[in-house]
A and B are shown apart, each in its own frame.
Chain A
Amino acid sequence: MSSFSVTFRTTPAAQILDLNGELDAHTAQDLEVAIQTSLSNGKFALVINGANLRYISSAGLGVFMAFVEEVRESGGDIKIVALQPQVYDTFDLLGFPHLFDVLPTLEEAEAKFMAGELRH
C-alpha cells in the first residue's frame, strides 16, 4: 500500500534523515526505528528532511512527539525542513510550528546546528 523509506546521512552539523513517500499509521514504525537508531548511535542533532515526503498523517506526526523530549534533554533537537506545501499544511494545522523548528531548507537547519542553536 503506502510506501515509505528513510535514508541516513551524516554531515558535520547533524544527522540527516531523508524521508521518502508517505508517513502514516503503517509506516510510522519505520521512522520510529530510524530515529531510535540515530539516538542509540549518540546522534541528537537530527534534521528531518521532508523534501520527498508526500504525505503525513497524525500517527506520523506522533513519532516526532515521541522523541522530541528525549532529544532535547540530551542537548539536541529535531528540526524539520523542506516540507512540501500539503505536508506543511498538516504540520501547521496541528500547530507543530509552535513545537518544532520547521525550516524551509536543509542548509538553514545545518547552519543553526553549527551555530549551536539547538532549541528554537
Chain B
Amino acid sequence: MGFRSLSLRTQQIILGLSAGILFACTVVYHIHLEVWGGWNVRWREVLAELAVAATFGLVYQLLADHFQQRKLGPIRALWSLSLVMLGIVFLSGLFGLHYEKGMWFFTHKIPDRTIPGVLVICGMAFLQGAGGAFLLVQLRELVLFKRTAVTVRNWYMLLWSLVGTFGAVVLEKMIPIPYVVEFAIVFAGATIIINVFRLSWVAYLPFRQKIIGLAVSLVMLLVLFAAFSEAVPMRKWNFIIWEADPFVAQYSFALNLTLTLTLVLGILYSVTTLLSLIFHLPTSGDFQRKTDDLAAMRALTQMVGQVFDAQHLPKLVLESVRQFVGEEQIAWLALSDARTGTLRPKVAAMTGIAESQLTRWIDLDAFYAELQTRREPLILNHAVRDHRIHTPGYEIGSLAMMPLITRNEVIGALFVGKTLADGFDEDDAKSLGAFADQVALAIDNARLFEERIEKERLGRELAIAREVQKRLLPDKLPEIPGASLFASYEFAHEVGGDYFDFVQADANRYSFIIGDVSGKGTSAAFYMAALKGTYHALARSDADPRTLLLKANEALSVQKEKNIFITAIAGLLDADTETLTMLRAGHSPAIHIDLHGQVRQLREGGLGLGLTNSKVLAKTFIPITLPLRPGDVFVLYTDGVIESRNAMGEPYGYERLTEALKKCRQEDAAGIHAALLADLNQFTGDLRYFDDLTLIVLKWHGQSVRTHM
C-alpha cells in the first residue's frame, strides 16, 4: 500500500524528482534574494529552510535505499566514504579558491549579486549536503552492523537530533528562544557520542582487513577533517585548503550547522575506528580462533542432533577436535564399554598418534583413575615432567584431559595433546571443557538410542520366541491308565526356554521329557525346537531315555553356541510292568514321594546336553528304574520353580517344595499341582517369574483301577 509498494526504481525516480524540484525552489529563492533583493518576509525564509531540510532528507532516503540493496561491507564503506568526501573537499576547494581569488571564470572577487555566483554557491551547497547524507548512510551500515533494539533506537535518536538541530535554527529565526540551538547541539553531541562507540564490526575482521581498515580510516579522518575545516566558517581553522569559503553557510545556516555536526560524527567515528582497530590488531588471531571455536561447537551441537551411530561418533568428535585445536595436534577419545560400565575405558578413536604408541607412552589407567575422581578437566602444561607420560622425545608437550560426564557418571575421557609445552591456557581449558560436555551428551544420546533399538529388537525377538515356544508345547497330555498327570508352563518376562512333552510310545508305554535351555529369546526357542524334533522322531520308535538323550545331544552339538546347553530328564512309564525309568541329564532332580510321605530326590544321572560329545556323555549317564506303587507321586520341574524369589530375595528352594508336597500328596495330580503352585505364589507374592517355570506332577494310582476286570 502506498509509496513503499511501488517498485524500487519508481520510488527512486519519485524521490529524486521531488528532491530536484525542492532544490530548484531553493535555488530560485536564493537567486531572487541575492540578485533582486528578495522578499523580506520571514515566512518565506522559513519555507525555504524547510525546502532545504526536505531536499536533503530525500537525498538521505534515496541513498539509504540504494545502499540497503547493495551493502558494501565495513572496509569498502569506509573506503568509498573517504573517496567521496575527498572529491567534495577537492571540488569545494577548487571552486572556493577561484571564487575567492576570481581567477577562474569569475571576474569579481565576491560576485554576491550575480546569478552564476549564486548558482555556484547553491551547487556546492548541494554537493556538500549530499556528501553529508552519504556519510550518514555509510556510517549507518557500520553503526548498525550488529542490530539490536538499542543500537537501532540510538541511531534514530541521532538522526532526529540532527533534524532537531536544523529545526532549532529555523525556529530561532521565527521566535527567538534563548539557547534553543545550543540545547539542540548539546543533545546532538550526546547522541553522536553514544553512536561513535558502535564498533562491533571491528572485532570480526581478520588481521589483514584490520590493517587495510587502519589505513583507510586514517585517510578518512584526514579527509573529513579537511571537509570540516571547510564547513566551519572560521578562517584560522582552514589549514588544509586555504581560503576555502563556507558555501553552505551562505546557502542555509541551518544546513551548515547540521552538516558540521555530521562531520563531527564522521571525524569522531574515524577516531574511534582507528583506535579500536589499533587495539584489536593484536587480538585478531584470538578472535579468529574464538569464531572457529564457535563454529566447531555449533558443528558438534548439530552432530548431537544427527548422529545416533555410536560407532562413528568418536571419529566425528576427533574431526571436530582437529578443527578446534588445529591440525598438528594429537587427540584421542576413550570410552567405557556401555554394557560393562565400570571397567576401564578403551580408546575408541585417535588422531595423530597410533594406539601402540599411546599405550606405550602413557599410563592411561592412572589418568582414567584421576579423571574418575576429579570429574574436572585436567591440564598438564608440562607433560614431559609428569611421571605418567614417557615419550621417547618431546612428542607431547602439553596434554589436556576432559572427563566425559553424563547423568553424573564418567563415561570416558577426551585427550588433546600438543607438542609445545604450555599449549593450553585458561580459555582453552574452558572451551575444551564445554566441548567435552557436548561430546558426552552426544555419546550418551547415541548410546541411549542404540539401547532402545536393541531393546525393541529383543522385545520383538522375545515375542517371536514365545510364540514358537507355545507351539512347541503339547496341546494335551495323554490319558495314562492307572495314573493322573498334570503339567503347567509359565512364561517368564525375560529368560525362557523350557520344554516338556508326553508321547504314547506304544500300547502300554508312555514317554516323557522335560528340558531347560540355558539361554533366552530366539536362540532358546531354536534349541527347544531342535530338542522337540529329535524327541518326536524317536519317542515312538525307540523310547529308551538313554537313546533319546544321546541323539538329542548329537543334534545339538551340530549347531551349538558354546555357552548354551540343555538340561533334561527323559523318562518312560511302563503301565504294564508298572515301572518308571528316568534318566537325568544335568536337570534339576525329580522328586519322588510315596504314600507314606517318604521323599527322595532322584539325583542319579549325568551331564547336561550340549556340553560334551555323546561318548563322554554316555559314560556319565545313570538311568534309574523304579517300581510303581499306588500313591507314588513324581514331581518334575525346571529351576524356575526352586529359584523363584520372594521380595526379600530368598529363593523358594527345594526344601519348601518338598514340605508343600508332603502336605498335599494325598490328592490327585491336578490337586497336588494346584497346591504346589499356590504355595509357590504365596511365597513369591506379587513378583513375576524371572525364569520360565514348568511344573509337572505325575501320580500313580495303581492298575487296580483298570477297567477290564
Contact = CB atoms under 8 A, between A and B. Distances in A.
Interface of A: 25, 29-30, 33, 55, 57-59, 61-63, 65-67, 69, 93-95, 98-99
Contacts of A98: 606-607, 612, 616, 620
Contacts of B340: 29-30, 33
Q: What are the 5 A-B residue pairs with the smallest beta carbon separation, nearest first?
A: A95-B607, A62-B563, A66-B563, A58-B518, A94-B586
A43 B5 CA distance: 84
Interface of A is mostly: helix
Contacts of A25: 494-495, 520
Given A33-B343, A59-B495, A95 B606 contact: yes
B266 interface: no
Contact of A57 (B616, B620, B643): B643
A65 B611 contact: yes
Contacts of A69: 562
B607 A99 contact: yes
Nearest to A33: B340
B424 interface: no
A67 B562 CA distance: 8
A67 B606 CA distance: 21
B544 to A, nearest CB: 20
A55 B495 CA distance: 17
A100 to B, nearest CB: 10
Nearest to A64: B563
- For B562, B607, B639, B651, the residue with the greatest tally of chain A CB atoms inside 10 Å of its CB is B562
Contacts of A95: 585-586, 605-608, 611, 620
Given A30-B340, A57-B643, A69-B562, 9 more contacts: A29-B339, A33-B337, A58-B565, A59-B519, A61-B565, A62-B519, A62-B564, A62-B565, A98-B616
Contacts of A66: 562-563
B650 to A, nearest CB: 11
A57 B563 contact: no
A57 to B, nearest CB: 7
Of B516, B563, B639, B643, which is in contact with the most chain A CB atoms at under 10 Å from its CB?
Answer: B563
B588 interface: yes
Nearest to B585: A95
Given A59-B495, A63-B563, A99 B612 contact: yes
A20 B565 CA distance: 24
Given A30-B340, A65-B562, A66-B562, A94 B519 contact: no
Interface size class of B (residues with CB under 8 A): 20 to 34
Interface string B531-549: 0000000000000000000
Interface in B612-658: 612, 616, 620, 639, 643, 651
Contacts of A99: 607, 611-612
B495 A65 contact: no
Interface in B462-495: 494-495
15 contacts: A25-B495, A58-B518, A58-B565, A61-B565, A62-B519, A65-B562, A65-B563, A65-B611, A67-B562, A94-B565, A95-B620, A98-B607, A98-B612, A98-B620, A99-B611
Contacts of B606: 95, 98
B608 A94 contact: yes
B603 interface: yes
Nearest to A37: B343
B93 interface: no
Interface string B571-610: 0000000000000011111000000000000010111100
B128 interface: no
B567 interface: yes
Contacts of B651: 55
Contacts of B564: 62
Contacts of A62: 518-519, 563-565
Contacts of B603: 93
Interface core residue of A63, A66, A95, A98 (most chain B CB under 10 Å): A95
Contacts of A94: 565, 567, 586, 607-608, 611
A110 to B, nearest CB: 26
Interface centre among A55, A58, A65 (most CB of B within 10 A): A58
Contacts of A30: 340
Nearest to B619: A98
Given A95-B606, A95-B620, A98-B607, A65 B565 contact: yes
A103 B612 CA distance: 21
A93 B586 contact: yes
Contacts of A33: 337, 340, 343
B334 to A, nearest CB: 16
A59 B562 CA distance: 12
Contact of A58 (B339, B567, B607, B616): B567
Nearest to B518: A58
A62 B585 CA distance: 15
